[in-house]
Amino acid sequence: MQASEKPQKYKMLIGGEWVNAGNGDTSPVVNPANGRELARVPRAGLEDVKKAIDAARESFDKGVWSSKTPGERMSVLLKIADLVERDIDRLAMLETLNQGKPIKSARYFDFSFGVDNIRFFAGAARMLEGKPSMEFGGGTSIVRREPVGVVAGIAPWNFPWLMMVWKVIAPLATGNSVVFKPASVTPLTSLEFTKIIQDAGVPPGVLNVVTGVGGSEIGNELTSNPKVDMVTLTGDTETGKAVMRSASPTVKKVHLELGGKAPFVVFDDADVDAAVQGAMAGGYINCGQICIQATRMIVQEKVYDSFVNKLVEKSRRIIVGPGERWETDMGPMVSESQRDKVESLVQTGLNEGAKLVLGGARPKGALYDQGFYYQPTIFKDVDQSMIIAQKEIFGPVLGILKFSTTEDAIQMANDVVFGLWSSVWSKNIYTAMKVANALRFGSVMVNEHIGMFSETPHGGYKQSGSGKALSAYTVESYTNLKHVYVDLTGTVHRGWHDTVFGTSLKPKTD
């Protein structure tokens, strides 16, 4: 879709059929760059979600996908990757128009990386491991990996298409059936991707996609329904807690990728220019709407002023504007409500006594009047106890703290409830490794901040969630381990039989 096109009407996929919501309701989808309506999608009700779950359950139980060999599933997934590559420019532009991110980011990070993810998941499903067969007294033990069953995937709005790759393709690779719920404000590339998955040959009912405002009723059905075997969510920590509560009565598997408050630790022997460049990329990517954002700059006192001055100077040069323009470095925020939240937290930082050295307001001019834009914003003299140093802001807002010793840096970095992502900047390998080992975060980058690969796990410690996205570990998480024992003697195992029922082992008495 181009920016000038009329709003498009979409349907959702349930049981292999493209359908409207049962009640006929729809929800608008807007372009955050100008607030105009892009499309309308079905606003699913409770009965729609139940039908989607039933369709997924039936497809799994009948084995229309789960019974296929890893090689057969791989072939379909590789075709999906090829079809995405065929349409990559169109899909990337749609992502930009719906979410707001710069087209160069959507095209050359989200979609290029996501295609690689698909191909990795396709191959990794053929390499799943169980322990080797073991011999026990005339019998053999075998460990099998089997698909979990029906997986409910709930995605956020910051990386709509990429999160669908993680929450749909990895489960499909191992033979599961899926019910997927995209974020209500950013469903468009998910629906286009669903068409591609269907065209590639995934059987009806194996993938079901429901759209519209989630709400407690819809979310609770996805997470509590006994026909769902596993829930995978990327979202904020409070939502993750609610999912755990909802899933607990049926004790289903839960995979959570939640909030973050990444420390960006700069030692006085670091290459300050390189660190500033890393802070720019890590701090402003996706308008700061990313859980691995370099949001806490923890800088050693000797280079503190130099780092602040250089970061402010470079941040002034950021081009803010509509994402479809190739010169844009930072697009709008995803919604008016998200911008309001960021503005509120910036005011909190001012009230707490942090010193605002850049931004802190909406950009001015006709270009920005209709969209949800916010300036690159930097606070210095931030204290560890401040709310802006502890709470996830999820916007283009950076806070800079000062430390003296290595021990101070470690303590400050770890002193948050989150534990998803972090980075350390130092030319001293001993310092870097000491700190990397001490940080309680799922990923630690050294002299880099953004560094994701299909082959490496992504996931957090503490209140940043449980389970891993990416790598063979996430593919394994969508399987159950089963132990199968085969007696090869053709007779009853006398040892166990006699121990439980026999009398021959009774101790002799005088």
**At 235, which amino acid appears?**
G
Kind plus residue range of the DSSP H or E element containing 190 = helix 188-200
> Helix or strand or coil: residue 235?
coil
How far apart (Å, rounded) are the C-alpha atoms in residues 282 and 291? 10
Q: Which residues lie below 8 Å from residue 298, measured CB to CB, with a gap of 6+?
A: 263, 264, 265, 266, 401, 402, 403, 409, 412, 413
**What would the 3-class secondary structure string for 415-440 be?**
CCCEECEEEEECCCHHHHHHHHHHCC
Catalytic site residue from 95, 291, 324, 343: 291
Choose among 332, 433, 322: nearest CA to 374.
332
48: left (phi over 0), alpha (psi -120 to 50) or beta: alpha
Q: Is 257 a catalytic residue?
A: yes
Q: Which residues lie below 8 Å from residue 326, measured CB to CB, with a gap of 6+?
A: 102, 103, 104
Catalytic site residue from 192, 257, 324, 343: 257
> Helix or strand or coil: residue 337?
helix
How far apart (Å, rounded) are the C-alpha atoms in residues 118 and 91? 16
Task: Kindly report the number of other CB atoms within 10 A of residue 151's CB atom.
Answer: 28
CA-angle at 341, arms to 337 and 342, nearest 5°:
120
- Given a contact cutoff of 8 angstroms between Cβ atoms, the answer to whether 189 and 38 are in contact is no
How far apart (Å, rounded) are the C-alpha atoms in residues 24 and 128? 43
Q: Which residues lie below 8 Å from residue 417, measured CB to CB, with a gap of 6+?
A: 237, 390, 462, 463
> Helix or strand or coil: residue 118?
helix
How far apart (Å, rounded) are the C-alpha atoms in residues 428 and 446? 11
How far apart (Å, rounded) are the C-alpha atoms in residues 228 and 370? 42
- Given a contact cutoff of 8 angstroms between Cβ atoms, the answer to whether 224 and 247 are in contact is yes
How far apart (Å, rounded) are the C-alpha atoms in residues 255 and 261? 20
**What percentage of the chain's residues is helix, strand, coil (to nearest 5)?**
40, 20, 40
Give catalytic residue positions: 257, 291
